[in-house]
Structure formats: C-alpha cells, structure tokens
Amino acid sequence: MMVSDIPICHTCGEQVGVDTNGEVFIACHECQFPICKVCVQYDIKEGRNVCLRCGSPFDKNLLMDDTKTSGNQHTMASHLSHSQDVGVHARHVSSVSTVDSELNDESGKPIWKNRVESWKDKKNKKKRSTVKTEQEAQVPPQQQMEEKQISEEAVVTHSFSSVYPIPSSRLTPYRIVIIMRLIILGLFFQYRITNPVDSAFGLWLTSIICEIWFAFSWVLDQFPKWFPVCRDTFIDRLSARFEREGEPSQLAAVDFFVSTVDPLKEPPLITANTVLSILAVDYPVDKVSCYVSDDGAAMLTFESLVETADFARKWVPFCKKFSIEPRAPEFYFSQKIDYLKDKVQPSFVKERRAMKRAYEEFKVRVNALVAKAQKTPDEGWSMQDGTAWPGNNPRDHPGMIQVFLGNTGAHDVEGNELPRLVYVSREKRPGYQHHKKAGAENALVRVSAVLTNAPFILNLDCDHYVNNSQAIREAMCFLMDPQVGRDVCYVQFPQRFDGIDRSDRYANRNTVFFDVNMKGLDGIQGPVYVGTGCVFNRQALYGYGPPSMPSLSKTSSSSCSWCGCCSCCCPSKKISKDPTEIQRDAKREELDAAIFNLREIDNYDEYERSMLISQLSFEKTFGLSSVFIESTLMENGGVAESANPSTLIKEAIHVISCGYEEKSAWGKEIGWIYGSVTEDILTGFKMHCRGWRSIYCMPFRPAFKGSAPINLSDRLHQVLRWALGSVEIFLSRHCPLWYGFAGGRLKWLQRMAYINTIVYPFTSLPLVAYCSLPAICLLTGKFIIPTLSNLASTLFLGLFLSIILTSVLELRWSGVSIEDIWRNEQFWVIGGVSAHLFAVFQGFLKMLAGVDTNFTVTTKAAEDTEFGELYMVKWTTLLIPPTTLIVVNLVGVVAGFSDALNGGYEAWGPLFGKVFFAFWVIFHLYPFLKGLMGRQNRTPTIVVLWSVLLASVFSLVWVKINPFVNQVDSTTVAQSCIAIDC
C-alpha cells in the first residue's frame, strides 16, 4: 500500500504507520478506528483499553506482536477502497473530519491547533511509558495482572446506562393472556359471523364490521408492547469519564431549541421560565446554547427576552449556588413544600427572599409589556431608538437574530460566564411556503450549526420547562456511551404536566401512552418522537444513517426484522430494488464520495474550499451556504476559532432566508420532515427507517414539565390537530403501510406501531356507529346478538375476562393506576366520536378539494383560581356528535324501560343486554357530559338549546311509536264493528 493511503491518527494527528510487514497498523478490527501504535500503547498504560469509537477492547497481544496483523492486512485497505459504496445514510468513513482544520477532539479543541503539540508529545509519551514500566517492574507480576484485569473490566463493563427487562413473573402471564385473548377473539368472530340476526340484519352486519375493526386496532396497539424494557443511568460514571478534576470538561455541547408563535396565547412569562430553566441547567456553561424561535416576529417576545436575559444574571448563580429544583422561578416559588429543608447555608433564607422579590419585579415588568401589547399602534411598533420594528408585518419581514448572552455577552452578578441566548425570527415573504413549526425548527438547525454547531440538539415547546437540572446528563449517558450511543438518533423523555386536576378528567397526562406504550417501543427500535423533550443527534437530523448500518445495496440487517433482538428467527434475504431506490442510492454514494474526498482539503484556502464544496453537489442537499455545509461535516461539532463573529451572523441571516430551502432536501430527507401538522411523527419515522434506534429515558425526577389545555374545548382541538396530522401521513407517500420497506431497516413491530399512529383516527367511523347501536336497538326493540347458548355465553364471558386481565397485568409491569387506564379508555371514546371524526373528514377534504385547515394555538395560561379553566366551555362544532350520542342513548334507555313495563315480565330479559350496551356508552361519555355542563348552575345556553331541540325530535318519534298503548289489528277492529248491532 502506498504511504499516501495511510490514514491519520485521530489522537496525535500523524499517520498511523505500518507494522513490521509494511501493512497499515490496525488497532481496532471492529471499526478500524485510525489510531497509531504509540497512542494505543499509551492509552492502555493509562487504563483506557477500549476503542474510543465503538468501545471494543484493544488486543494487547496484537500490539506487542505486529506479525499477527497479517491475517487482517486487507481490512483497512478494503475499508478505504470501498468507502464510496456506503452511501449518504451510512457514513462510517474515517472519523477524521473532511475539514481537519475545524475538527474538534474529545476535549473540544481543534485538532489542527494541536498538531505541533501532539508531534512533540510523542516523545514525552514514550518517556512516560518507560518510567511507568520501570515503576511497574517493582510490583509483583501477579499483582500487575490482577490490577490490569480489574482496570480493563471497569472500563469495558461500566457502561453509563443499563437495561433491565420486565421480570418474567410479570411479563410471561401478560403475554399468555394476550395469546388467549387472540384465540378467544377468533372463536368469538367465528360464532358472530355464523349466527346472523335475520330480524335485524343491517344492525348485525354493522356491529360485525365495527367489532372486526376494533380487534384489528387492538392488535396494532398491543403487540408493539411485547418487549417492554426499563433503563437506568449512571451520571456519576459519566462525570468520572468526561469531567476529570483539573481538566476541561469533555462533555458534548447541546443546543436548546425553544419555539413560540403567538405571545398573546403563549404568554411571555411562561416562555421566560422555560428559558431561565435552560440557562440554569447543571451542565458546563460553555456547552449550553439556547435558541428561541419567534415565528410570529412579535416585538413583545423580543422585549420579554431582553428582560429575561437581564434577570438570568441573578437567577442562574442563585440556582447553582443552592442547587434548587426546579429552576424555573414561577414553579419553584409556587411549591407548597418546606424550602428550608436540607438547606444548611445561613444566607439561603435571606437570598431566597431577595430573589423572590426580584422575580416579582421581573413579573411586573413582563406583564406591563403584555398589557402594552394588547393594542397595536396604527403606525406599528417602534424600538427604543425610534426605528420601526422589522416584524410589524408577521407575514412579510426580514430575518432577525440577536445574541443576548454568551462568552461575548453579559456575565452574571458574580462575574461568571452565562450560556449563550439567541433570539431568532426567520424571514417570511408572501408567496413562500413556511411549513409552520417544522420550518421554524429547520431554521434553528441551520442557525445553530453556523453559530455554535453542538453535536446534540434538544427541542422544547415554550411551555415545557426543565424540571430536572441533570436531564441533559441523563441523555448523555446514552448518547456519549461508546457502546450504546453510536446508533442512537434521539433520546426521548416522557411528557409530564402541571396544573391538571387530580382526577385528570380528560386524560391530559396521557399516562398510558407514556408509561406503557413507550416502554414497549423502547424494547424494539425505540420510542416515537413526540415533538418536545427530545435530545437529537445532529448527524441523524442531517439525513445520515447510523455508522454501524450496512449499505442498502447489501442484504438486510442481521438482526431480526420482527423484533430486532436476534438474527436466528428470521432468515436474511436479498432486497429487490425499484429504479427509484437505485437512483436514490446513486445520489447517496455521490455525496458520500464527496465527503470522503474532502479529507484532503484542509490545506485549501476559503475560496478553494467553497468552490470544491459547490462542485461536489453538497448544495443540492444542504442549500447554498458553504459555512453550513462545512459544519455538517464535523461529526463532533464545533466552530473554527478563526471564524469572524460578524461573518457568522451574516451567514446565519442567510440560512434563515425564506428561499434558502428551495431546490434542497430540507423537509424531504433532512431536518424536520414536512407534509403533516404532526411533523414529529414523520421525523422520527424517517430516522427509524434509516436504521437508527431511539432511547426512552424516564428519570425518577421528571426531566421536563409543561402545561396542557385542561378545558374540554381546547383539549378536543388539540386532539383534532394530532389526528389530522396522522390522516395526512396516511394519505402521503410516507405512509408506514408502504414506505421504507427497502433495506429492511424498520422492524416489523416498530412498523406496526407506526401504522397504529396513523390509522387510529379512522376508528372514529365504526366507533360512532357502534355507540349509536344501543339507542337504535332500544327504540326498535331489536338486538344485534341472537339468543345466547351456553357456548356463546362462555365466549362472551371469556372475552370480557381477557380484556380485564390484560389491563390488570399491564398495571403490574407498567406501574400505572387503574384510574389512568379508565380515563384513557373514556377519552378514547370521547375523542373518537368528536375530534377524530372531524379529522378524517378534514383530511380527505384537504386531499380531494385542497381545503386546508388553519389551527390556532391553544391557550397556555390558566385563570387565577386553581383549575378555573377546567370549567370553561367554549362552543365548537366538535361538541355536536358526542352531545347527540348522549341524548340519543338516554332517550333510548327511557324507551327501553317503557317497553319493558308495557310488555310484561318476559320483556325484562332481552332489555338487560340492550341497557348494558347503552350504559357502556353513557359511562364512557360521562366526563364529556360533566365538562359540557360546566360549573353548577352555569350550563351554556347552546347546550340547553341543543337539548330542547333533540328532545323535541325524539318526542315526536315517541308519540309516533306510542309504546304505552296496545297495538290493535285493523281487521279485528273492522270485524268488531260489524258484529255490533246498531
């Protein structure tokens, strides 16, 4: 092999060298991580006996005897010669950056700056290793072997996290009941189909269709929970590895994204608390940057952020000095606990009082800004210098960026550096599609890449504050773990909420989803992305695949495509590609080749580098910005120290221009994916299709907390938005029913879970029909089930018992309460017959007629009284279907009892099944009825009008039926009239 083909050592920056046979030296045969022999020997003597990339242990015998490398002499050569066959979604080329001048090593320093020092350090390493060898010679060989073995085991086995499955004593009965329920369902449908009700064939057929769909939905929901797991993290090990005393912190940097649109519906005080909790996280300040996206270009948001930055100078040092939790001042000061507990500092009480007084003053200033913004001046808003606010027209304004804090900004009151805080409002012009929240998030991705370029990104809604100051460290236990983090695209935290009534009337907490379903998905390929509280690997957002994933042109992955757990249960098979997939792979190989060739351009000047990037077609993928494109090639993140801040700001303004994404892959293959109002599902789905896996992290103290719309109307509108997004995905090219089969990277159970997320709104159609059947049966005197035999009664009883047992066993392994499951079941019916039904019709209208639906942001603030918003009723058309179903079933129950009273003793038997069916509907809709009535004696007028109207209609039907009068045959009447002797 030619000397020019020898890769560069990642540690010292020199060539890795050759062994005694003249072949390239290979330290790790698992991933071919480029590192020279001297650096490997030094790492081993320092107790670091594992590969920095993949975590595989080095072979010490291999290092002592280079002749043993001949068996693998073609490994590195094959890796280099065939690296172009990998494709853009599998960048496992050399970890040396394609722009070496801007690559950061573990400590965050550029390698090009350390080249000269590393060259001098090589001799020092040899001297230190010689001295250490002499010292070790004085220790008995047996003790040396034991100490080395313990050190190696500690490095290899002490991972930053652990996975422990659910105990088999709880999981095995759960799985057995699921299988039994499947068998009972089969026998149940065999009986139902073979025993039609001829007297009510239409009702019977409708019920059969509905029940089959319900069973199908249950299968989609149940089986992705087949492999639930739980995880533990070890933050102390993470700190011991990356935060050594006397050395700079080697923890990875994190960019926080906070999104807001309308400051009148998303109050600035709530956004300010979120930002303050981010700035005060327990993480190195130079590793934290907070980007606030103001997609409404509101001067109120900008001014409130100015006040927030000023208050942060006092708040952040207070939080870190006394280690308080949570670090959002509004929620910290509102805690009803003894704040003196475990606080031994004598100055704490005094400083806490002063801080509370300062926060109250801060609230007064922010609320004054809000009151001022209620009425917009005719000439528009003006800034302090008298110039017009650029965002006076929120649909036509330039891009705006303002850096408030950071290494070049203000320090805190103690003189310490604060995390960077950046205000961003992307450019908007008429005639351009801005893609709402997904477009705003993609703009933040580009801005952050130009200004800070942290390797990880955490996005939060403006109303979700950091409740656990060590949440970032929890995520880093997975993302920075050399054995776990290589293939992790994101770490998802569960959503927790404040301000919800104790009974959780409308299932706002979504406990069943976050504590049951997401644990099940974590055992397959990972939880779905839920839109907030998620830490991303930036490289995954750029459309790349995991380093360990083979090319799509090869056979499918060795892991099982069903569960992802083994390679023996499903045989591998070749994947047949269509022409579009072949063309897509060709483009990926072209881009990957460009990335590989860019390793040699570190000696080029800026103009030559930008020309080469343009020629290599990166602009077709990432857009027309050479600075941003270079940032995408830095797998470890970072910005060149030689970069001019003013130049970077100009480039940041450029990448948020409204036309930047045109003719690029933004929203199609990279970043947040467009095409649905629920961009979170699409984004996570695309990553899983590329072969990434995700992690579900549930720390004991909730990582983030938010506020939820707790009144009935806002809750239904929120559910409507989610359901409409699922319908849009179902009608798009990204539908999990047919997208992403090439390569077999998406596990079957994971695909089943995604199918469930996009078809659940369609359950509303059979659900509305099924909830109408009890009233129809009671009013007509017919029923959907024939007279039950002993076998049929046993099947019905077994079905009900299996349903109950499934829920009980889920309670055992998940830890949720029976009340949570019942509330979830109730709102499944309430949302199904209202919001989901409207979402289906609106989705088809949007596809067929192009009728788009504009959503308003739900209000985040509540009334002054506790749970005051719970009793507010805002009239909306979503309330019509469930109101109608309640009234119809109540009238049906009255009609049924009337018929039974009129029909005698024999009529009470058939009445039992019908009334039970009707009460099933009424009990499930009871929270809706309670919410519809509002406070006592405050029933909305529209509800009264609806009730009177529906009661009048059914009264007329009731008179027509006339159940209390015996039906007399007309022929009998005629004969009796003839017999009368007049």
Structure tokens at 633: 């090639």
Q: By C-alpha distance, which of 91, 94, 110, 131 is closest to 15?
A: 94
* DSSP class per residue in 143-161: HHHHHHHHHHHHHHH--SE
Compute the distance between CA of residue 659 and CA of residue 653 in angstroms, rounded to an integer.
Answer: 12
Q: Where are the alpha helices (DSSP H) in 452-522?
A: 471-479, 511-512, 518-522
For the range 137-144, what are the long-range contacts, defined as Cβ-Cβ under 8 Å and sequence gap of 24 or more? none
Separation in Å, CA 736 to CA 545, 583, 749, 750, 757:
19, 21, 12, 10, 9
Q: By C-alpha distance, which of 677, 671, 774 is closest to 719?
A: 677
Compute the distance between CA of residue 88 and CA of residue 91 in angstroms, rounded to an integer.
Answer: 6
Amino acid at the residue 158: H
Compute the distance between CA of residue 451 and CA of residue 408 in angstroms, rounded to an integer.
Answer: 13
Residue written as tokens 């069916």? 917
What stretch of H or E contains 420?
strand 420-425
Q: Contact at 8 Å (CB) between 187 and 194?
A: no
User: Of 19, 43, 295, 820, which one is the catalytic site residue?
Assistant: 295
Is 198 annotated as a binding-site member? no
| Angle CA 384–388–390, to nearest 5 | 110
**What are the b/e assignments for 531-557, b being 16+ CB within 10 Å?**
bbbbbbbbbbbbbbbbbebbbbbeebb
Q: Are strands 456-461 and 254-260 parallel, antiparallel or unpaired?
A: parallel
What stretch of H or E contains 400?
strand 400-405
Is 363 annotated as a binding-site member? no
Q: Contact at 8 Å (CB) between 869 and 711?
A: yes
Structure tokens at 396: 């036509």
Structure tokens at 889: 């079933």
For the chain, what is the total number of helices (H) and then of strands (E)? 34, 13
Phi and psi of 233, rounded to 5°?
-120, 155
User: Of 255, 515, 602, 680, which one is the catalytic site residue?
Assistant: 680
Return the bridge partners of 18, or none: 24
Is 259 annotated as a binding-site member? yes
Is 572 annotated as a binding-site member? no
The 3-class secondary structure across 882-915, one letter per residue, is HHHHHHHHHHHHHHHHHHHHHHCHHHHHHHHHHH
Question: Is 295 among the residues known to form the active site?
Answer: yes
Structure tokens at 399: 């891009």
Q: Contact at 8 Å (CB) between 537 and 460?
A: no
Is 265 annotated as a binding-site member? yes
Return the bridge partners of 498, or none: 707
Rg, the chain, Cα only: 33
Structure tokens at 300: 């109120």
* DSSP class per residue in 77-104: HHHHHTGGGS-TT---S-SS-SSGGG-B
Question: Is 286 among the residues known to form the active site?
Answer: no
Q: Contact at 8 Å (CB) between 466 and 278?
A: yes
Compute the distance between CA of residue 97 and CA of residue 273 in angstroms, rounded to an integer.
Answer: 38
Q: Where are the alpha helices (DSSP H) in 323-454?
A: 329-333, 348-372, 436-451
The 3-class secondary structure across 363-395, one letter per residue, is HHHHHHHHHHCCCCCCCCCECCCCCECCCCCCC
Beta-strand (E) ranges in 453-501? 456-461, 464-466, 488-492, 496-498
Binding positions for Mn(2+): 437, 461
- Give catalytic residues, as residue numbers: 295, 680
Binding positions: 259, 265-266, 295, 436-437, 461
Binding positions for UDP-alpha-D-glucose: 259, 265-266, 295, 436
